[in-house]
Structures are given as structure tokens and as C-alpha cells.
Amino acid sequence: MLKLNYVDMKCIAIDDEPLALKILSQYCDQIPFLRLLGTYTDPLEGLYGIRSMKPDLLFLDIRMPDISGINFVESLNEDVLIIFTTAFQEYAVKGFELNVVDYLLKPFDFERFLTACSKAKERLQLSLKMPVSEQISPNEILSIKCNYQNIQLPLSDILYIKGFDNYVKVVTTKKTYIPVMTLKSMMNLLPKSGFVRVHKSFIIPVVRIKSWNRGIVVTDKIQVPVGRTFRKDFFKMMNILKSNK
């Protein structure tokens, strides 16, 4: 079984709008695998930050007074992943020609931001030749922020995850954690074939499933209804697992 390696991604942000940088900072602070090293309204200062701090990821605006984000990337010699953050969609094609990770159209919400950052993490893992596991082993961890603390939670300890409003309840064999995030955001942080969302309010570890039918999933801890929206994907996953045994 492959080991899931934890990636701590160093990043910086360049945008001529201070409010945009403030929002980016708040979003970065909610993602445990991101470490924001600095924010810059001046692209030249940002370039110095890239060269001195060697970030893995750059959040970059496109329309800026002195230089466009497109020209900035074209002249950049440093090896850094790029996510464009812009209010103008007409640069999307050019952005992807530059092999950027993602193109975030302002105003974007946290869910969309997390999706882009997860893509960047996967690309970094591949570039470092780090295996991305879709299974669960005792060495694999989930990094979350709860009560202003960074928590390194073994995936094998998780019994189930329940969502309510903008919180989730992560129930483990030892303790229950309630981080401020949506269930969709949580799902983006988990290995996709190790966990399955069976209902709008529940994510469960596949290894803890004891039995299931069209309407109910039974684990070693709880009984969970299968939501209509998630039924097709759930049964597809379970059929794959059965065929692999």
C-alpha cells in the first residue's frame, strides 16, 4: 500500500488590489497544506520574493499597472506553479497555453479556491515523484485547522464525517473535531477512493463499510442513508471494490 506524503506548499500572491490580497490571505489560512510567505501589490517586489523565497505556488493577477500577469509569467525563469486570479475571462486561453494550474475568475469563493489549490498540490506531488494514494494506511494523515490549532489526524482513525451548515464533525476513534469548513471542502482534502460521500451530510471511510443496499450503508459505527444525488457514484465505487477482491 502506498504512503500518502504530506505536502507543505509555500506560496506567495501578487495583486495590485489590497482587498484581493486580503481575501487570498484569508483563504490560504483555511487550507492546512498552504503556507503563505508573502503578498505583494508591486510585481517587481513580488519577483524578488519569488527569487529569494523559492515558493512552490504563485497566485497572480493579470491586469496590473506596470506589467500584465501574462507577460510576468512569460519572463519568469523560476520553477513555480501558477494560479491566475483575475476579473477578466478573456485571458483564459492564453493562461492555459502557459500551462498554469488554474484560472480563477473573480469573485471566486473558497470552494473554487480549494479546488484550484488541490490541483496544484497534485501537480507538485507528481513533479516530486511522490505517490498520491487512494487507499488508507496508518501512516496517512488529514491536516485540518480546528480551534486555531493545526491538527494532524490519522485517516485510519476516522469513523465518519458529518456536515452541518459551514462546519463538519470529524468523529474518530479517539476524539471528535469540528473544523469550520463545508463537507465539499473536506471531501477535496481526502483521498478519493478511500472515502465516499453517501449523503449530503455524510462522508464515510470505505474500509469501515460492513454492508449496504440501495437505501442504507452500515459501518462499524453508524447506519447512514444513501442520498439520491450520491447513489450512482457510491454504487459504482462499491462495484469496483467488489470486482477487485
Upper half-sphere CA count for residue 54 (Cβ side, 13 Å): 0
Name, in order, each residue with C-beta under 8 angstroms of 149's C-beta and a sequence gap of 6 or more. Answer: none
pTM, two decimal places: 0.57
For residue 192, being part of any structural domain is answered with: yes
Do 14 and 117 lie in a common domain?
yes
Last residue in a domain, options 73, 105, 127: 127
- Tally of domains in the chain: 2
Task: Give bridge partners of residue 12 from the DSSP assignment.
Answer: 38, 58
Do 200 and 151 lie in a common domain?
yes
Last residue in a domain, options 127, 156, 179: 127
Last residue in a domain, options 75, 95, 127: 127
> Which positions of the chain have pLDDT values less than 50?
1-6, 130-138
Percent of the chain with pLDDT strictly greater than 90:
36
- Note down the domain range covering 30: 9-127
- Please spell the DSSP secondary structure of 78-138, one letter per residue: S--EEEEEES-GGGHHHHHHTT-SEEEESS--HHHHHHHHHHHHHHHHHHTT----SS--T
Could you report the per-residue pLDDT of 68-127, keeping only the tens digit for each? 899 999 888 888 999 999 988 887 777 777 888 999 999 999 989 998 998 898 888 776
Do 18 and 91 lie in a common domain?
yes
C-alpha cell at 116: 484550484
Domain of 171, CATH number, reads 2.40.50.1020
For residue 205, being part of any structural domain is answered with: yes
